[in-house]
Amino acid sequence: GAGVSQSPSNKVTEKGKDVELRCDPISGHTALYWYRQSLGQGLEFLIYFQGNSAPDKSGLPSDRFSAERTGGSVSTLTIQRTQQEDSAVYLCASSFRGGGGYTFGSGTRLTVV
């Protein structure tokens, strides 16, 4: 597609359940970031993938959060045993390696009830 696609756009889940959020970056983009944004707050870095290099996981808030990127393309962010404080918009961004602007997806709004 022409842009970064994220799915689902909205997700309501019960506390304690696991969720998977998907990001389809722009074709050919080797760099991919995940962020989360709580209501009225700024963007919080979660994880960064660059090509085949080991990901930078330094922003993941707890071991309940994990992410993978298969084949250098699609990425999945998994949150296990969701808590109410996990409620936020989760944003994905991608770019070509070596610079250039990042294109953001529209995000997944996660609500944990």
Partner 1 sequence: DAKTTQPNSMESNEEEPVHLPCNHSTISGTDYIHWYRQLPSQGPEYVIHGLTSNVNNRMASLAIAEDRKSSTLILHRATLRDAAVYYCIHQMGMRFGAGTRLTVKP
* Binding positions for partner 1, rule: CB under 8 A: 33, 35, 42-43, 45, 48, 91, 93, 99-107
- With beta carbons less than 8 A apart as the criterion, state whether 73 and 92 touch: no
Q: Which two tokens stand for residue 110?
A: 């996660």
CB of residue 93 to partner 1, shortest distance in Å: 7
**Of the two residues 14 and 39, which places its CB atom closer to partner 1 in the complex?**
39
CB of residue 31 to partner 1, shortest distance in Å: 9
Strand-strand pairing, 103-104 and 108-112 = unpaired
CB of residue 17 to partner 1, shortest distance in Å: 25
**Of the two residues 6 and 82, which places its CB atom closer to partner 1 in the complex?**
6
Q: Which amino acid, 4?
A: V
Q: How far is 23 from 96, CA to CA, in rounded Å?
A: 16
**Of the two residues 39 and 71, which places its CB atom closer to partner 1 in the complex?**
39
The count of other CB atoms within 10 Å of the CB of residue 28 is: 10
